[in-house]
Amino acid sequence: MAAEADGPLKRLLVPILLPEKCYDQLFVQWDLLHVPCLKILLSKGLGLGIVAGSLLVKLPQVFKILGAKSAEGLSLQSVMLELVALTGTIVYSITNNFPFSSWGEALFLMLQTITICFLVMHYRGQTVKGVAFLACYGLVLLVLLSPLTPLTVVTLLQASNVPAVVVGRLLQAATNYHNGHTGQLSAITVFLLFGGSLARIFTSIQETGDPLMAGTFVVSSLCNGLIAAQLLFYWNARPPHRQKKAE
């Protein structure tokens, strides 16, 4: 009976959240304080939680732009640099066969970020340019994921994530400071990105052991924290002059 009851739990946890030896350690030998296995369980759980949450992270931003029919306050250069960083993470992770739980959110964030790029162009009256950008990006992504791209190029792309994240966030911070408000920037999206990047520091160390990946998330957390701090600082600020002109 114990073995039968053990079956569904084992199928649920192995190998998605735990390797079989850790399952035996925790749930057969009942060594619930086995630190290495607990780290694996926590890392996998956090990673899958981040991946699942990433399906919705940027939707508040997308809906805010659509609702306002404006992308005021968003820096297109910042959004594009974030897209570069996400693309680097996706290509580097797939090339190195990292587990999906350690990078999967980058895929869903990329799809949402490229949507935001298009919307920013669309509401600036550059719809045709936006469509061309989508087509070019898809072509570049296919080339990067193909055997035609050398491993050195892929590694260089991942290494470029740090400057891309820093410059992108500083551009958005400068836009916020210049405007004196955060415009259509979504607080929900910003705070979720901040929390997710913090958690990714631990999961990337635990699951990939790659210092380049971990370092990228450390820098990303610092930069996302800056934007989150600006959102709090400009919480009650509004762009009244633009609204009056629209009337």
At 5-58, the pLDDT tens digits run 467 777 777 777 778 888 888 888 888 888 888 888 888 888 788 888 888 888
CATH second-level architecture of 152-235? Up-down Bundle (1.20)
Alpha-carbon separation of residue 169 from 39, 154, 225 (angstroms): 31, 23, 10
Neighbouring C-beta atoms of residue 18, cutoff 10 Å: 22
Neighbouring C-beta atoms of residue 87, cutoff 10 Å: 23
Neighbouring C-beta atoms of residue 82, cutoff 10 Å: 26
Whether the pLDDT of residue 133 is over 60: the answer is yes
**Euclidean distance between CA atoms 141 and 106, whole angstroms:** 13
Residues in the chain: 247
**Euclidean distance between CA atoms 128 and 94, whole angstroms:** 31
Whether the pLDDT of residue 167 is over 80: the answer is yes
**Euclidean distance between CA atoms 175 and 178, whole angstroms:** 5
DSSP 178-194: HHTS-TT--HHHHHHHH
Residue 126's pLDDT is 94
Average pLDDT, rounded, for the chain? 86
State the pTM of this model.
0.73
8-state DSSP, 101? G
Q: How confident is the model at residue 184 (pLDDT cuts 50, 70, 90)?
A: confident
At 197-246, the pLDDT tens digits run 898 898 888 878 888 888 888 998 999 999 999 999 988 877 655 544 43
**Euclidean distance between CA atoms 121 and 133, whole angstroms:** 10
User: Which tokens hold the place of 230?
Assistant: 């600006």
Which H or E run includes 88?
A: helix 76-95
Residue 54's pLDDT is 81
Instruction: Report whether 103 contacts 93 (CB < 8 A).
Output: yes
**Euclidean distance between CA atoms 77 and 135, whole angstroms:** 18
**Euclidean distance between CA atoms 90 and 102, whole angstroms:** 10
3-state helix, strand, coil in the chain (%, to 5): 75, 0, 25
Neighbouring C-beta atoms of residue 242, cutoff 10 Å: 14
Which residues are CB-neighbours of 62 under 8 A, at least 6 positions away? 112, 115, 116, 119
